[in-house]
Structure 1
Amino acid sequence: MAAELTRRNAMAGGAGLASLAWSARAAQPQASPVATTAHGRVRGYIDDGVLAFRGVRYGADTGPRRFQPPAPPAPWKGVLEATDYGAAAPQRGRADELRSEDCLFLNVWTPALTGARPVMVYIHGGAYSSGSGSAPLYDGVRLCKRGDVVVVTVNHRLNAFGYAYLARLVPELADSGNAGQLDLILALQWVRANIAGFGGDPGKVMVFGQSGGGAKIATLMATPAAAGLFHRAATMSGQQVTASGPGNAHRRTLAWLDALKLRPEQAGELATLPAERLIEGLAAEDPVLGFGGLYFGPVLDERSLKRHPFYPDAPAQSAAIPMMIGNTHDETRAFLGGDPTNFTIGWDGLPAKLTQANMRVDIDPATVIAEYRRLYPAYSPSDVLFAATTAARSWRAAIIEAEERAKAGTPAFVYQFDYPANGERLRAGHASDIQMVFDNLAKPGATAKGPDAQAMADQMSEAFLAFAKTGDPNCAAIPKWEPYDLKRRQTLVFNTPSALADDPRGAERKLFEKVPFVQAGT
């Protein structure tokens, strides 16, 4: 139960909140706000005038239902405390927060329990393997106060617990390859059924997410069970053109079993082994990619997912849903910037660095280097490394999705984040726009400082708030933002100041469109 969790994050109010717009609809809340859900009542707390509910259960413990579709929670009597974040899903890496298979919790921030405000549901990143909705940067207080909206963040099953494809080995676990997506659908169903009791409008739900969160959203846009559960979608450096095919998903499961020293016929034992042991097996090298740990993500299983998210076209299911698609200018500085040699590399060593593992497409490195030196004569070898890997690996899928939406006659609003929020070395790296969208520059994890940083946060948060309210991000804080078409490829370049540009980095786009794009992991 969320009420049993140890509180790990102190309530904190950001500086300067008094200057933010605050709707008159935000009634004075009671000292300990109590909201009613379909399963029972929950008691939250007040964070700088915003009603906050942490660790609200939207699904039953997944431990007894490992690899199976989620189930709604059992109703409870009385009032459950909702003041501590719920457990994150089991995952590799740091364990600085509680982790458990009992992880189907969400968090709600709202100005008041009455009213019908737009709802902004944030789906966290971390590929499909790590993360939670409880990170300080995702705190919803400032968005609530700035825009009079309801903010929701979500935890769900990850990695093998959410996406291991066991259908060919254990037929009764036929839905295992998309269990994590089914969790998100259950969370959105909870929002539809319950958010009115938190002052939200179930008919005006926006999903937004960064990195893996954006990829999860792109997948939901092609998942029949998700139809009608959200009405706007914004992806931030997170795209999903193709899902994992069932054959490759099966190969990954076999590699996972081998790492766990289990034979294929023993796959049924995965349902009862300790979670810690299952996590250990994820370190095995991915047999499809040929590098890194095992990738588990959505699977074209012909059950939950019957088509690829954005291949061969944009899904008709979500054509009427307004969409924003964004990326950062220097994505891979966040991935590759931790290696000092990537900043000192010479021209002779650059071809080896530009391997398929870094560019993720099969193209001659010498050709790439020659073109970048022609386009940008002042670039160092390090500059070329980061630019080429960003264009080929992290930006390409966003372009494909924007093109497909434009071809379908339902163009998206496309942005490029150029502001160097991570400093001169890492610049506008992957994830550097999150702090801006949430306007959380004072939270742990934020990297941008100074008056320009706040000006940047003002622009991005206002644009996302406008999009949540109307399906159009245009507002007084930004220049006119036109949807993306194939003639001009209009892109809002977020910076101080921001500007609308036609086909920014068009030459780089043309360089890489000559080779097929393969979604990492598929």
Structure 2
Amino acid sequence: MQPHSRLVRTMIIRTVAAAVCAVALIVSGTPAQAQPRPGRATARLDSGWVRGAAGAGVTVFSGIPYAAPPTGDRRFAPPAAPEPWIGNRDATAPSPSCPQPGGFDAGGVRVAGQEDCLYLDAVVPRRSGHRRLPVIVWLHGGGMITGAAGQYDATRLASRGDAIVITANYRLGALGFLATPALDAGGVDSGNYGLLDQHAVLRWVRTNAAALGGDPGRVTLAGQSAGARSACAHLAAPAARGLFARAILQSGPCAVPFLSRAEADRNGETALAEVGCAGAADPAGCLRALPVADLAALLPDFGVPAARRPERWGPVAGTTYLPEQPIAALRRGSAAGVDLLLGTTRDESRSFVLTGYPNLTAEGYAAELRAVFGDDADAVRETYPAAESPSPVIALATVQTDRTYACPGMITARTASRYSRVYAYEFAEDSGLMAGGQPMGATHGWDLPFLWTLRMPQAGYPDPTTAQARLSDTMIDYWTAFAHRGRPASPGAPQWPAFGPRSTVLGLSTEAIRPVAFADDHRCAFWAAIERQER
């Protein structure tokens, strides 16, 4: 793999700063009786009955197990079906998060969450009638090392959009993506446990959508950042074919390479040494016997500058579940017929760069380009001169935005549009946030509060203005109309043209909703030429 490609993949996974089937229990009754109805917060699932909580126009079912606890012998193994239960299971407590860093202190990494974490939350519009609703399955971001289903309150999205919304946890970090031959078993390669958890969620939805009033034939797989990258993997995975009809990719282009099996195995060897299992007679047993905190603390090296930090944990290509890189699979038509809505924010990388290079000078900018791009550094500096940006750090953020998000997003859209309907956007609303005296602009993750009520106090997002609240309504309309019919639309809002020969990208902001010159604005022709030189 070329070094620049590795850098592209490295940048796409970092969202830490922005953050955060069993045998069915047979119960008599008709499908209509099993669906949530106004005043009734119960549903009959394949594993048993659940009792949720009635909210503002929705019923919320929380903490539903979609797989058995991945503990003991199930650690570092594919997810197993949950045990059925008798009676009405309480489903009012939010799903617990999977183990992840919860901060740092003098003792090292503080770990939050629990290993018994394979749960999902479902938000169902409360309504009369028996019309089946579309289902949106959301995969959270967090760089594959942080995040949780409970951070996303889908009440507005579900009630305004008249759609069922599922948010789910999946194993993170080493617990979700550690690869080593010692853990390969039963014809399944290690390294993609987190992906297999997500696959189990999709299978759960196919089985249980009707019990919630949903249509198993209208499932939209959606995600942001690491969640969108995960969705790319499922678009490419043969085993996921038919489990969802549409996909929404926010800030996670499929054109950025995943770890290869060789790279993932090298990361695994390093991890085994770090936790003292490298020389064990039974490395798998050693790993399964470790305190969960020891594994959750295996993080990327945050002492390395962000643009040069090697990827440690993430989906692995060249494996049983993901035989090839997602963009290669898309070129072959692996997702033919799956409608796509995808896009990026205008200033994706500012949240990473402004915090990582607070005092960058023009000389430091040139040195960083040399470190990252080598022989191509002069061409990059001439195309992105520091003097034409508000500051050298904004120039570096612009380089990384275009190289690792915007232009790979265009490649993804063009590739997928050969076989499917594609709708592309750029979220360009300014956040008004500052970091180190520099404007964050429309940075990575700033689109999230326009779709969700976030439970992420650390994000520090401001309360929306009246105009931003209207934009939020329009975006929810677009997103959920896509889930309903495969075409984004909003009453009174501009029509959203499909991405086709003209490569139309719709800009979304309070100033205007209109097509933008996306490829030109982000200098994608320049980056395409750089890619050709690398080959």
TM range (shorter): 0.7 to 0.9
Tell me: CA distance 1:38–1:317, structure 2 relative to 1, closer, same or farther (3 Å). Answer: same
Aligned length: 480
CA distance in 1, matches of 2:318, 2:159: 42
CA deviation vs aligned residue, 1:360-412 (integer Å, no higher than 9, x gap)? x55633322222349x9464433312211111123232122112123x24352
1:295 equivalent in structure 2: 312
Partners of 1:112 and 1:198 within 8 A in 2:
no
Give the counterpart letter for 1:73 in structure 2. Answer: P
1:74 aligns with 83
Q: C-alpha deviations, 1:467-515, integer Å up to 9, x for none? A: 0111111333532222223x42210011121111244435611121222
Aligned pair 1:158/2:172, yes or no?
yes
Asked if residue 251 in structure 1 is aligned to residue 251 in structure 2, the reply is no
The residue type equivalent to 1:417 in the other structure is: F
Does structure 1 retain, via aligned residues, the 8 Å contact 2:353–2:393?
A: no
Q: Determine helix, strand or coil for the equivalent of 1:262.
A: coil
1:279, 1:442 → 2: CA distance? 22
Q: Is the 8 A contact 2:245 2:338 kept in 1?
A: yes
Matches of 1:250 and 1:238, distance apart in 2 = 24
Bigger relative contact order (CA 8 A; separation at least 6): 2
Q: Percent identity?
A: 29
TM-score (norm: length of structure 2): 0.83
Structure 1 residue runs without a partner (length 5+) = 1-24
Counterpart of 1:365 (choices 377, 395, 410) is: 377
The reply to whether residue 130 of structure 1 matches residue 146 of structure 2 is yes
Contact 1:220-1:226 at 8 Å conserved across structures:
yes
Aligned counterpart, 2:98: 89
CA contact (8 A) 2:42 2:49 kept: yes
Shift of 1:101: 1.7
For residues 266-305 of structure 1, the aligned pairs below 5 Å read 266=281, 267-268=283-284, 269-283=286-300, 292=309, 295-305=312-322
State which of 418, 421, 425 in structure 1 corresponds to 2:431.
Answer: 421
When the two chains are superposed, the root-mean-square deviation of aligned CA atoms in Å is 2.9
Report the AA paired with residue 414 of structure 1.
A
Taking a change above 3 Å as real, the CA distance of residues 430 and 463 of structure 1, as seen in their structure-2 partners, is same
Q: C-alpha displacement at 1:208, in angstroms? A: 1.0
Q: Structure 2 CA distance, aligned partners of 1:466 and 1:372?
A: 38
Displacement, 1:282?
3.1
Counterpart Cα distance in 2 of 1:194 and 1:480 = 34
The correspondence for 1:196, drawn from 186, 210, 215, is 210
Tell me which amino acid in the other structure corresponds to 2:228. Answer: G
Q: Secondary structure at 2:146's aligned position in 1?
A: coil
Structure with more strand by fraction = 2
The structure-2 alpha-carbon separation of the partners of 1:96 and 1:272, relative to structure 1 and needing over 3 Å to count, comes to closer
Partner secondary structure for residue 494 of structure 2 = coil
**Distance change in 2, residues 1:93/1:239 (3 Å):** farther
Q: Quick one: structure 1 residues 507 and 74, their matched pair in 2 at CA, closer, same or farther if it must change by over 3 Å?
A: closer
- Report deviation, 1:455: 1.9
Name the structure 1 match of 2:490: 475
C-alpha deviation, 1:317, in angstroms? 2.8
Amino acid in the other structure paired with 1:474: A
One-letter code aligned to 1:132: A
Residue of structure 2 in register with 1:205 after alignment? 219
**8 A contact 1:255–1:286 mirrored in 2:** no
What letter is aligned with 1:299?
V
Asked if the contact 1:232/1:321 (under 8 Å) is kept, the reply is: yes
* TM-score in terms of structure 1 length: 0.84
Structure 2 partner of 1:316: 333
Change (3 A) 1:457 1:507: closer
| C-alpha spacing 1:106/1:328, structure 2 compared with 1 (3 Å) | same
Aligned counterpart for 1:459 among listed residues 474, 479, 483: 474
Q: How far apart are residue 102 of structure 1 and its match?
A: 1.0
Identify the range of structure 1 (395-404 vs 89-98) with the bigger mean alpha-carbon deviation.
89-98
The whole-number CA distance in structure 1 between the counterparts of 2:303 and 2:234 is 25
Deviation at 1:272, TM superposition (A): 1.8
User: CA, structure 1 residues 477+296, in 2 after alignment: closer, same or farther (shift >3 Å)?
Assistant: farther
Kept after mapping to 1: 8 A contact 2:100/2:111 = no
Aligned-pair distance for 1:141? 0.8
3-state SS in 2 of match to 1:318 = coil
Task: Write the distance in 1 (CA, Å) between the matches of 2:318 and 2:289.
Answer: 23
Aligned with residue 401 of structure 1, among 406, 412, 415:
412
**What amino acid does structure 1 have at the position aligned with 2:71?**
G
1:391 is the counterpart of 2:391: no
* Aligned equivalents of 1:285, 1:507: Cα separation in 2: 28
Secondary structure of 2:482's partner? helix
Q: Which of these residues, 42, 45, 48, is aligned with residue 50 of structure 2?
A: 42
Residue by residue over 1:51-96, the C-alpha shift from the partner in whole angstroms, topping out at 9 and shown as x without a partner, is: 1111111110001301111011011101111111122111223499
Is the Cα contact below 8 Å between 1:362 and 1:515 reproduced in 2?
Answer: no
User: Partners in 1 of 2:375 and 2:39 — Cα distance?
Assistant: 59
Cα distance in 1, alignment partners of residues 47 and 487 from structure 2? 35
Query: Which deviates more from structure 2 when the two are superposed, residues 93-102 or residues 107-116?
Result: 93-102
Question: Would the alpha carbon gap of residues 340 and 292 (structure 1) be closer, same or farther in structure 2, given more than 3 Å must change?
Answer: closer
CA distance in 2, matches of 1:460, 1:96: 37
SS of alignment partner, residue 395 of structure 1: helix
1:4-36 deviations in whole A, cap 9, x for unaligned?
xxxxxxxxxxxxxxxxxxxxx995323xx1111
- Tell me the distance in 2 between the aligned counterparts of 1:291 and 1:427: 23
Alpha-carbon distance in structure 2 between the residues aligned to 1:378 and 1:291: 22
Q: Secondary structure at the match of 1:311?
A: helix
1:28 to 13, 26, 38: 38
- Alignment correspondent of 1:491: 505
One-letter amino acid of the structure 1 residue matched with residue 220 of structure 2: M
